[in-house]
Amino acid sequence: MADFADRVAVKDGQGNVTIQLEAALDEKIPLPTGNTVTVRSADVHVGGHGAAGRLRLDDETGHEGIRARSARGGELMLYDKDGKLTLLLDGRHGVIHVRDWTIEAPDYVFEESYPLRPLSEVAEYVGRERHLPGVPSAAAIAENGVDVTRLLIALLEKVEELTLYAIAQQREIDELKARVG
Q: Model confidence over 79-126: pLDDT tens digits?
A: 777 777 777 777 666 677 777 566 778 999 999 999 999 999 999 999
Q: Look at phi and psi of residue 115 and say left if phi exceeds 0, alpha if psi is from -120 to 50, else beta.
A: beta
Q: What is the pLDDT of residue 56?
A: 61
Q: In the prediction, which pLDDT does 67 show? A: 63
Rounded distance, CA 142 to CA 65, Å? 29
Cα within 13 Å of Cα(158), Cβ side: 13
CA-CA distance, 54 to 68, in Å (whole number)?
Answer: 6
Label residue 110 exposed, middle or buried (CB < 10 Å: 0-12, 13-18, 19+). exposed
pLDDT computed for residue 25 by the predictor: 52
Residue spans of the domains in the chain: they are 6-98, 107-180
Q: What is the DSSP letter of 178?
A: H
Q: Name the DSSP class of 25.
A: E
Residues of the chain with confidence (pLDDT) below 70? 1-74, 76, 91-94, 100-102
Q: How far is Cα 80 from Cα 47, in angstroms, rounded to an integer?
A: 32
pTM of the model: 0.53
Can you tell me the distance from the alpha carbon of 121 to that of 102, in angstroms, rounded to the nearest whole number? Answer: 32
